[in-house]
Structure 1
Amino acid sequence: MDKLLRSSFSTEELKKVDGISTSEVRDAWAEAMSVFFTPDQITDSTLANKLSISNDTSGFIDNILFPGMMSINVTASGHRFSRSAQDIANDGVDGILVQFWREGQLLSDESGDKHTRPGDIHLVDFSRETDVSASDFDTYNLLIPRELLADSVDLDGLHLKTLSGDHASVRLLRRHLYDLHTEAPNMTAAEGLALVDPTMALIKATLTATPGAQEEAAQIIDRNLLLDIKRFIDTNLSTPTLNPDMIAASLGLSRSRLYRLAEPLGGIQTFIRNRRLRHAFQLLVLRGNEINSLTALAYAEGFQSEDTFRRAFKNAFGMTPSEVKEQGMKAYTEYYSSFPKHKKSMAMGEHLYQQWVSDLFC
């Protein structure tokens, strides 16, 4: 099954190479970033102190290629990043970079008036010159060819614009950028393709805030809310009072909307029950020797009796809790044998994304 293409680069991996010098690491980082920006050390001591810049050059780039767009996670020490008129003429990248600043801060001018903080969305037009300074940071980015947005968004005023994380639509977008990247390694190429249009819809809705665009983005907004529901359930599995009312109140949803959103999960109560059973399965496999009482485990997982727990467990996994505890990893292998997972990872420093960017904007 075809997976989305992925390429990564890490200065930390380079530093493990015997005999490599600090200057060689810095040069490799500059080369890795050059497809996007030219990175330079911040030499102004006042600005460096203001941004709490690290002395050591470090950087990590993780690129995942979707059909028609690229998701990029960049974590790095503070730098000055620029795109000159010559850079723009040379690389031909005519796109918009949508950045979620998860950590760190960005100054778009020396006065500090244009200031991007954690939680904000920042926009860069790659067809225009850029000169910004950043503290140590962690960002989740989406690089989008201009034509995917130009039909419904006025792009002229977007360059170096910051969208405050105080707005609900921005919070939805930043969550989607993060989820899109973290879930991408598990996606097939077909699944990635299916997410391009709703992703563009959510970006357009955030940038234009028009009723039509908001309506178009409803699908992806619901997807993000569903992810919130799943996260909340997983975080609170051991809470005895975990129920639809608790979830709805905590996430600010009506009961009717919660039930509608949970329909793809088979219903909210069924999903809670299945997650608790799966959690119990994992505990029995990994820590079975520490579990002395199945009754205590049943109560801890929200079941009212060991008999109810045992029946539900056997229906779900085809084995009793005692059998799973006894077999351990063998039980795990037996249950998951019909769901093989072939994980492939690319070597660090393989700059495939340089070719991807060229192909994306050719």
Structure 2
Amino acid sequence: MITASTVRNEAFESWLSQVNQACGRFDARALDTDFYGELAEFRSGAINLSVVDMAHVHLYRTSKDVSTSSDGHYYAVFQMRGSSQLEQGDNRAQLGCGDIALIDASRPSDMIYNDDCRQLSLILPRQVVERGSHFNAVNCATRIAASSPLAAMANKLVLDTRQQEGLDMQESEAVLDALASLLLPGISARDCGADAHERQFRKIIAFIDAHLSDEELCPELIAREVGISVRGLYRMFSKRGLVVAQYIKHRRLDFCAENLRRADVEQKLSALCYAWGFSDSSYFSSAFKSRFGVSPGAYRKRYSQI
């Protein structure tokens, strides 16, 4: 006798393989013998999205899946038909048609689809989310209601984007920034009563940006210059889901990428690396590829062809 927990037919395995290829490492189990699933990918420039049809399936990402994956992005989940239940950390969202939520690929997550449903899953690079949330923590698995004006605009934009196959990198990155700007205001974890702390955080961010070219920039230096304990500095970043050293590295890489996108700036990669506070060109190249998916040279070439 075949039970719901042991249904692993070829169609199921094929669908799960497609999910893993398009979205990163997930596992799944069929909830019923009536399971079905289909997936269609769309890519254009920096846009990477999948439309997934499914029913009677539990899709999940464990700590082991996360630890063996280099995925550091977010998924913007658009519910196009039916309903689903998303869970991450302490948050749980029930999505209906038109609702939207974010899932952090660097953390375990659970998604349940009982009935016939369709979801559009868009990969949002972490740096796009960080910029859009102004470095506040993001409440993942939190429902953005279809009835909200920003959700309506985001749904229209992502559906229109599917019709644009010829987007170049600058155009497609502008779309990602626009989507992040629409989605994040409602789910950024801001503490409205912490104005003094927010001002201090802004002061810290400004100090970091002003000293990115300094190789000596470190948590101890920042804490001393802005008048805060190192522990307090770590705590302030941790509340926003950030790590001080990682934030500094990412800001340096983002500014390097900005320079590489500018056709009017001709600079050797090693000089660019040192100009933004990196002391090792090999480490810089490795870190850049980890953040942007390609080497600095390939990234520059991509934009020089526009």
Q: State TM-score, norm by structure 1.
A: 0.44
Matched, 1:149 2:129: yes
Structure of larger gyration radius: 1
The residue type paired with residue 163 of structure 1 is I
The residue type paired with residue 33 of structure 1 is V
1:117 corresponds to: 96
| Corresponding residue to 2:15 among 29, 48, 53 | 29
Spell out structure 1 runs of 4+ moving beyond 4 A: 358-362
| Corresponding residue to 1:178 among 153, 159, 168 | 159
The Cα of 1:131 is off from its aligned counterpart by 1.4
Cα 1:84–1:147, aligned 2, differ >3 Å: closer, same or farther?
same
Structure showing greater relative contact order (alpha-carbon pairs closer than 8 Å, 6 or more residues apart)? 1
C-alpha separation in 1, matches of 2:140 and 2:77: 12
1:99 corresponds to: 77
2:184 corresponds to: 207
The Cα of 1:168 is off from its aligned counterpart by 0.8
The residue type paired with residue 126 of structure 2 is R
C-alpha separation in 2, matches of 1:71 and 1:124: 14
- Say whether the 8 Å CA contact 2:92–2:141 is kept in structure 1: no
- Superposed CA RMSD in Å reads 3.0
| Corresponding residue to 1:76 among 54, 58, 70 | 54
The Cα of 1:189 is off from its aligned counterpart by 4.4
The Cα of 1:122 is off from its aligned counterpart by 1.6
The Cα of 1:143 is off from its aligned counterpart by 0.5
- Say whether the 8 Å CA contact 1:121–1:170 is kept in structure 2: yes
Q: How does 1:192-271 map to 2 (within 5 A)?
A: 193-208=170-185
Identity of aligned residues (%): 15
Cα 1:361–1:89, aligned 2, differ >3 Å: closer, same or farther?
farther
The Cα of 1:41 is off from its aligned counterpart by 1.4
- Say whether the 8 Å CA contact 1:33–1:39 is kept in structure 2: no
Q: State TM-score, norm by structure 2.
A: 0.52
| Structure (1/2) with the larger helix percentage | 1
The residue type paired with residue 145 of structure 1 is P
Instruction: Give the paired residue count.
Output: 179
2:68 is paired with a residue of what secondary structure?
Answer: helix
Matched, 1:161 2:138: no
| Corresponding residue to 2:29 among 7, 31, 40 | 40
Cα-to-partner distance string for 1:83-132 (whole Å, 9 max, x where unaligned): 111111212111111111011211235xx963111110121110111012
Cα-to-partner distance string for 1:123-172 (whole Å, 9 max, x where unaligned): 11101110121132111221011012212314633321210011011111
C-alpha separation in 1, matches of 2:173 and 2:156: 16
Cα 1:155–1:121, aligned 2, differ >3 Å: closer, same or farther?
farther
- Say whether the 8 Å CA contact 1:108–1:133 is kept in structure 2: yes
The Cα of 1:201 is off from its aligned counterpart by 2.1
